[in-house]
Amino acid sequence: MKKARSWCQAGQSPAKSHSKNAIVEKIINNNLNMTVMKKCFFLLIIMLSLVFNECRADNPADPGTKSTAANSVVQLSNDSFKKMIFNYEINKEWKFEGNRPAIIDFYADWCAPCRQLSPLVEEIAKEYSGKIDVFKVDTEKERMLTQKLGVTGLPTLLFVPVKGKPQITMGALPKESLVKAINEILLIK
């Protein structure tokens, strides 16, 4: 009864006092939640900036080419392919634009056999460094080039000799087959 009288004397009812306490608790909880949200948001911004800065760290001079594996494998775009390999818009007959024999790996990131073949291609590029050029074409990004060359299956390797017509193979080849193709098609021993 004393508590009821003290509320009544203060001009408050027990229900109003309880609702004020609940409101104060909600405000405190909201402030704590906002603080946690601000910290999470701040951390998210920091993490995203680090991720995207990492993606931009490899900024080659020619945006159409990107080297991997210590500059041994070069990523080709449609434009760089026309400059460095074959300009299919100008030439109707095959005319290789390069100075050294080349291997071009047509791949996609989602393709499991392509992922199996990739380390072999990089290994071949290192072993034959200075004798052949090794390129990669991401078929998801370079759809026009892929269509123009008639690449329908993955992985596809295009062996391009300095003189003569290129030859194409499909599927993940073992290293022995790659070496044999290099020796026979590209005439490198």
Cite the active site residues.
111, 114
Please report, as a single letter, which amino acid is at residue 145: L
41, two tokens? 């948001």
Residue 169, SS3 per DSSP: strand
Angle at CA of residue 150, ends 148 and 151, nearest 5°: 115
Length, in residues, of the chain: 189
Compute the distance between CA of residue 114 and CA of residue 116 in angstroms, rounded to an integer. 5
Q: Are strands 133-138 and 73-76 parallel, antiparallel or unpaired?
A: parallel
Q: Are 14 and 7 in contact (CB under 8 A)?
A: yes
Compute the distance between CA of residue 146 and CA of residue 126 in angstroms, rounded to an integer. 26
DSSP letter string, 43-60: HHHHHHHHHHHHHHS---
